[in-house]
Amino acid sequence: MKRSCGILLPVSALPSPYGIGTLGKEAYEFVDFLHEARQSWWQMLPVGPTSYGDSPYQSFSAYAGNPYFVDLETLRADGLLTKAELEAVDWGTDPEMVDYGKIYENRFRLLEKATERGWKRDAEQVKAFTEESAGWLPDYALFMALKRRFGMQSWTEWEDEDIRLRRPEAVERYRRELAEDIRLFTYIQYLFFKQWNALRDYAHEKGIGIIGDLPIYVAMDSADVWADPDSFQLDDRNVPVEVSGVPPDYFSENGQLWGNPLYDWDAMKKDGYTWWVRRIEGASHLYDVLRIDHFRGLESYWAVPYGETTAKIGRWVKGPGMDLVNVLTARFPNLRFIAEDLGYLTPEVHQLLKDSGLPGMKILEFAFDSREPSNYLPHTSLPNCVCSAGTHDNSPIMAWREEAAPEDIALAVRYLGLNEEEGFNWGMIRGGMSSVADLFVVQMQDYLGLGAKSRMNTPGILGGNWQWRMKQGRIDQALTEKIAETARIYGRSERAWQA
In angstroms, the CA 352 to CA 253 distance is: 27
In angstroms, the CA 5 to CA 203 distance is: 15
State the SS3 of the chain: CCCEEEEECCHHHCCCCCCCCCCCHHHHHHHHHHHHCCCCEEECCCCCCECCCCCCCCECCCCCCCHHHCCHHHHHHCCCCCHHHHHCCCCCCCCCECCHHHHHHHHHHHHHHHHHHHCCCCHHHHHHHHHHCCCCHHHHHHHHHHHHHCCCCCHHHCCCHHHHCCCHHHHHHHHHHCHHHHHHHHHHHHHHHHHHHHHHHHHHHCCCEEEEEECCCCCCCCHHHHHCHHHECECCCCCECEEEEECCCCCCCCCEEEEEECECHHHHHHCCCHHHHHHHHHHHCCCCEEEECCHHHHCEEEEEECCCCCCCCCEEEECCCHHHHHHHHHHCCCCEEEECCCCCCCHHHHHHHHHHCCCEEEEHHHCCCCCCCCCCCHHHCCCCEEEECCCCCCCCHHHHHHHCCHHHHHHHHHHHCCCCCCCHHHHHHHHHHCCCCCEEEEEHHHHHCCCHHHCCCCCCCCCCCCCECCCCCCCCHHHHHHHHHHHHHCCCCCCCCCC
Catalytic residue chosen out of the listed positions 32, 249, 393, 422: 393
Is residue 476 annotated as a catalytic residue, yes or no?
no
Write the DSSP symbol of residue 50: B
Query: What amino acid occupies position 240?
Result: P
Is residue 157 annotated as a catalytic residue, yes or no?
no
Is residue 407 annotated as a catalytic residue, yes or no?
no
Q: How many CA atoms lie within 13 A of 339 on its CB side?
A: 27
Catalytic residue chosen out of the listed positions 224, 293, 341, 438: 293
Catalytic residue chosen out of the listed positions 340, 341, 408, 438: 340
The set of catalytic residues is 293, 340, 393
